[in-house]
Amino acid sequence: MDDVEPSAEFDTIDLTETNEVFEEGRKPEKDDRVKLAAFQCVICMDDCSNLTVTVCGHLYCASCLHRSIHGHATKGQCPMCRHDMKPQESYNSKAKKYWPLELKLMTATRKGKRKANTLS
């Protein structure tokens, strides 16, 4: 190996006798996680119970969303953005465009973690 001599372009830092904390170490870590417990239903203005998500991504209490979708003023539309929530003809009669969030999260976490079918 070649011996490399220190040059003017490199700085030497002695870490054995320093009490200095670098700026990056002083900053608290930013927590970007979304806390579902902090969501409030925009219909009842209360903490969400049985959190439900629509195809457009809005979150509501399951009972509030059900009442709103089947109400006369916003029949079949998302209460927030008025996105159409009526089942399409290609869906069967029991299909809907909103799901309990627990089911959606469970499906997302299980996706790709199933054992492959083995041929006998």
pLDDT by residue (tens digit) across 14-53? Answer: 777 666 656 666 667 776 666 666 678 888 888 877 888 8
pTM of the full structure: 0.46
Return the amino acid letter for 114.
R
**pLDDT per residue over 76-87, tens digit each?**
788 888 888 765
Higher pLDDT, 94 or 77: 77
Q: What is the pLDDT of residue 72?
A: 67
* CA 32, 51, 101, 106 torsion-angle sign: positive
pLDDT band at 58 (very low <50, low <70, confident <90, very high): confident
Q: What is the signed CA dihedral for 101, 102, 105, 106, rounded to 10 degrees?
A: -150
Nearest to 48 by CA among 100, 10, 7: 100
Q: Radius of gyration (Cα) for the chain, nearest Å?
A: 27
Mean pLDDT, the chain, rounded, equals 68
Return the amino acid letter for 112.
G
Overall CATH class of domain 36-107: alpha beta
Q: What is the pLDDT of residue 114?
A: 52
